Chain A
Amino acid sequence: MDILAQLVVSGITVGMIYAVIAFGYQLTFATSETLNFGQGEALMVGALVGLTTINFLIGLNLGTLSAYLLMLPVIMAFGLLQGSIVEFLGVRKAIAIKSEAGWIMATIAIGIIIKNLAENIWGRDALKFPSPLAEASLQIGPVRIQPMEIAIVVGALLLMLAVELFNRRSIYGKAVVATANDRDAAGLMGINTKSVITFSYALSSMAAAFAGVLVAPITLTGASMGAVLGLKAFAVAIIGGLSSGIGLIVGGLILGITENLTGYYISSGYKDVPGLVLLLLVLSLKPSGLFGKATIKKV
Chain B
Amino acid sequence: MNKWIVGAAAMAALWTGAANAQDVKIGVSGPFTGGSASMGVSMRDGVKLAVDEINKAGGVLGGKKIVLIERDDEAKNELGVQIAQELINKEQVSATVGFINTGVSLASQRFYQEAEIPVINNVSTGTLIAKQFLPPDHKANYIFRTSANDAIQSGMIAQEAITRQGFKKPAILADSTNYGQLGREDLTKALAAMDVKPVAVEKFNIGDTDMTAQVLKAKEAGADVILTYAIGPELAQIANAMAKLGWKVPMIGSWTLSMATFIDTAGANGDGAMMPQVFIQLPTTPKRKAFIEAYQAAYKVDRMPSPVSAAQGYDSIYLLAAAINQAKSAEGKKIREALENLQTKVEGIVTTYDKPFSATDHEAITANIPVFGLVKGGRVVPAHPEDLEGDTALRIKPKS
> Interface of A with B (CB < 8 Å)?
3, 6-7, 10, 13-14, 17, 119, 123-126, 128, 135-137, 139, 144-146, 215, 218-220, 222, 224-225, 227-229, 259-264, 267-269, 271-272
Known: A10-B210, A268-B217. A124 touches B244 (CB 8 A): no
Counting chain A CB atoms within 10 Å of each CB, which of B37, B208, B209, B267 scores highest?
B209
Closest chain-A Cβ to B114's Cβ sits at a distance in Å of 32
Chain A residue nearest in CB terms to B212: A10
A10 to chain B: which residues have CB within 8 Å?
A: 210, 212-213
Known: A6-B245, A144-B246, A269-B176. A126 touches B233 (CB 8 A): yes
Q: How large is the interface on B (under 10, 10 to 19, 20 to 34, 35 or more residues)?
A: 20 to 34
A268/B35 in contact, CB under 8 A: no
B167 to chain A: which residues have CB within 8 Å?
A: none
The yes or no answer to B147 lying at the interface (CB within 8 A) is: no
Chain A residue nearest in CB terms to B209: A219
- Selecting from B10-18, B199-207, B318-326, B327-335, the interface stretch reads B199-207
A262 to chain B: which residues have CB within 8 Å?
A: 213
Of A123, A136, A220, which is within 8 A of B233 by CB?
A220
B210/A137 in contact, CB under 8 A: no
B245/A220 in contact, CB under 8 A: no
Closest chain-A Cβ to B245's Cβ sits at a distance in Å of 5
Total residue contacts A-B, CB cutoff 8 A: 89
Q: List 8 A-B contacts (CB under 8 A).
A: A7-B212, A10-B212, A14-B209, A124-B34, A126-B35, A135-B243, A144-B244, A267-B203
Counting chain A CB atoms within 10 Å of each CB, which of B210, B212, B246, B265 scores highest?
B210
B246 to chain A: which residues have CB within 8 Å?
A: 137, 139, 144
Chain A residue nearest in CB terms to B260: A125
* A227→B246 CA distance, assembly (Å): 30
A269/B203 in contact, CB under 8 A: yes
Known: A6-B212, A137-B243, A220-B233. A272 touches B205 (CB 8 A): yes
The yes or no answer to B224 lying at the interface (CB within 8 A) is: no
The yes or no answer to B264 lying at the interface (CB within 8 A) is: yes
B214/A263 in contact, CB under 8 A: yes
A14 to chain B: which residues have CB within 8 Å?
A: 209-210
Closest chain-A Cβ to B222's Cβ sits at a distance in Å of 13
Closest chain-B Cβ to A147's Cβ sits at a distance in Å of 11
B210/A260 in contact, CB under 8 A: yes
B209/A215 in contact, CB under 8 A: yes
A271/B207 in contact, CB under 8 A: no
A136 to chain B: which residues have CB within 8 Å?
A: 243
Closest chain-A Cβ to B333's Cβ sits at a distance in Å of 38
The yes or no answer to B296 lying at the interface (CB within 8 A) is: no
Known: A124-B34, A268-B202. A220 touches B212 (CB 8 A): no
> Interface of B with A (CB < 8 Å)?
33-35, 37-38, 176, 202-205, 207-210, 212-214, 216-217, 220, 232-233, 236-237, 240, 243-246, 261, 264-265, 267
* A126→B35 CA distance, assembly (Å): 7
B233/A268 in contact, CB under 8 A: no
Counting chain A CB atoms within 10 Å of each CB, which of B34, B213, B217 scores highest?
B213
Known: A3-B216, A219-B209, A269-B203. A137 touches B244 (CB 8 A): yes
B216 to chain A: which residues have CB within 8 Å?
A: 3, 6-7, 264
* A126→B261 CA distance, assembly (Å): 7
B208 to chain A: which residues have CB within 8 Å?
A: 271
Known: A260-B210, A268-B217. A126 touches B265 (CB 8 A): yes
B237 to chain A: which residues have CB within 8 Å?
A: 219
Of A6, A123, A225, A260, which is within 8 A of B33 by CB?
A123
Counting chain B CB atoms within 10 Å of each CB, which of A146, A260, A268 scores highest?
A268
B213/A268 in contact, CB under 8 A: yes
Closest chain-A Cβ to B256's Cβ sits at a distance in Å of 14
Closest chain-A Cβ to B237's Cβ sits at a distance in Å of 7
Known: A218-B209, A220-B233, A269-B176. A124 touches B35 (CB 8 A): yes
B212/A260 in contact, CB under 8 A: yes
Of A125, A145, A272, which is within 8 A of B37 by CB?
A125
Closest chain-B Cβ to A208's Cβ sits at a distance in Å of 15
B207/A228 in contact, CB under 8 A: yes
* A139→B37 CA distance, assembly (Å): 38
Closest chain-A Cβ to B73's Cβ sits at a distance in Å of 13
Closest chain-B Cβ to A270's Cβ sits at a distance in Å of 9
Closest chain-B Cβ to A218's Cβ sits at a distance in Å of 7
Counting chain A CB atoms within 10 Å of each CB, which of B38, B232, B233, B236 scores highest?
B233
Chain A residue nearest in CB terms to B232: A126
B236 to chain A: which residues have CB within 8 Å?
A: 220
B243 to chain A: which residues have CB within 8 Å?
A: 135-137
Of A119, A128, A268, which is within 8 A of B265 by CB?
A128
A268 to chain B: which residues have CB within 8 Å?
A: 202-204, 213-214, 217
A6 to chain B: which residues have CB within 8 Å?
A: 212, 216, 245
Of A13, A139, A224, A272, which is within 8 A of B210 by CB?
A13
Closest chain-B Cβ to A7's Cβ sits at a distance in Å of 6
* A259→B217 CA distance, assembly (Å): 14
Known: A123-B33, A126-B35. A260 touches B213 (CB 8 A): yes
Chain B residue nearest in CB terms to A129: B265
Closest chain-B Cβ to A138's Cβ sits at a distance in Å of 10
B220 to chain A: which residues have CB within 8 Å?
A: 3
B37 to chain A: which residues have CB within 8 Å?
A: 123-125
* A218→B237 CA distance, assembly (Å): 9
Closest chain-A Cβ to B202's Cβ sits at a distance in Å of 5
* A219→B238 CA distance, assembly (Å): 11
B33 to chain A: which residues have CB within 8 Å?
A: 119, 123-124
B213/A271 in contact, CB under 8 A: yes
